[in-house]
Amino acid sequence: MGKGQVRAEDLHRALDAEIGKLHRGSDWSKWLEVAALLPTYGFGNIVLINLQMPQASWVAHAQMWEKLGRRVRTGQAIRILRPTRSRTALSGALEAAGRKYDAEGLVEQQVIGFQVGAVYDVTATEGQPIYLPRPPAPASETAARGLWDGLSREAAASGFAVDVRPTSDSSEGLTDYDSKRIDQYLKINRAPLGPVPARPLDSTFLTPDVDGPAL
């Protein structure tokens, strides 16, 4: 895709061509990995961003970068498809079709087409540094064990028996309110009582009184 004048039709063609290459699960898994880096964009724009800049990791429009104190560099825009919306005063027909409209009878968020929009990766900006909050450190085995012991005591005090069972799948356990039993599944490839999910155990005490198991 060239860096000159780009039309919405050009982006649609490039998108269709790339989607046409997806035949196997491994092809789709690649895009899932890319989507994890660009969570605010739809699949079509994720494909377009990756086609133009495979190394992109933090993408936003120029106004957002300006709010963060940074300027975008001319000529380094990534072209995406931006929806065009219309407000139409056809409340009667829309009501019959089950569409929403406001007090003036105007359609809310009706997409009628797409136009070319521009976004920029963080590497295409310059300005003051952006300080992001440090991600929380993973729980240590000591902290996990302390949490487990505390929850187990709460379970016993409430009359629940806790049963730890090995499992090789992704299930985490269940709470049986009728028999007052909590089954906590322990992954067989994890160290005993290390940083193990305690969702069935903790959800029992984080959920208000209900008739049935906690979700």
The reported pLDDT for the residue numbered 80 is 96
In a domain, 18, yes or no: yes
Residue 108 maps to a domain:
no
150 shares a domain with 78 = no
Range with the poorest average pLDDT among 25-29, 141-145, 150-154: 141-145
pLDDT score for 196: 43
Predicted local confidence at residue 46, as pLDDT:
94
Give the CA-trace dihedral at 37, 39, 40, 45, to 10 degrees: 70
What is the extent of the structural domain holding 78? Answer: 8-83+114-127
Higher per-residue pLDDT: 144 or 175: 175
Tell me, yes or no, whether 70 and 161 share the same domain.
no
Residue 41 lies in a domain: yes
- Are both 71 and 145 inside the same structural domain? no
Residue 150 and residue 44 in one domain: no
42 located within any domain: yes
Which residue, of 98, 127, 156, is where some domain finishes? 127
- List the alpha helices (DSSP H) in 84-140: 91-96
Most confident listed range (19-23, 91-95, 123-127, 173-177): 123-127
Q: Is residue 56 part of a domain?
A: yes
Task: Tell me which of 32-36, 144-148, 209-213 is least confident.
Answer: 209-213
* Claim to verify: residue 44 and residue 122 sit in the same structural domain: yes
Is 39 a residue whose pLDDT tops 60? yes
The token pair at 34 is 């890319």
Counted domains in the chain: 2
Same domain, 56 and 150: no
In a domain? residue 121: yes
Tokens of 68: 């963060």
Please compute the mean of the pLDDT values over residues 25-42 and round it to a whole number.
86
What's residue 124's pLDDT? 96
Q: Are residues 175 and 78 in the same domain?
A: no
Of 147-156, 179-188, 199-208, the least confident: 199-208
The answer to whether residue 215 sits within a structural domain is no
**pLDDT at position 188, please?**
47
The owner of tokens 């198991």 is: 213
User: What is the predicted pLDDT for the residue at 193?
Assistant: 43
Shared-domain flag, residues 12 and 72: yes
| Of the residues 103, 127, 151, the one at which a domain ends | 127
pLDDT at 197: 44
Residues 123 and 151 in one domain: no
| pLDDT over threshold 70, residue 96 | no
Q: Is the pTM of this model over 0.75?
A: no
Q: Does residue 202 sit in the same domain as residue 149?
A: yes
Q: Are residues 51 and 122 in the same domain?
A: yes
Is 133 part of any domain?
no
Residue 88 pLDDT > 80, yes or no?
no
Sign of the alpha-carbon torsion through 6, 9, 10, 14: positive
Q: How far apart are CA 50 and CA 73, in angstroms?
A: 19
Q: How confident is the model at residue 98 (pLDDT cuts 50, 70, 90)?
A: low
Q: Are 78 and 178 part of one and the same domain?
A: no
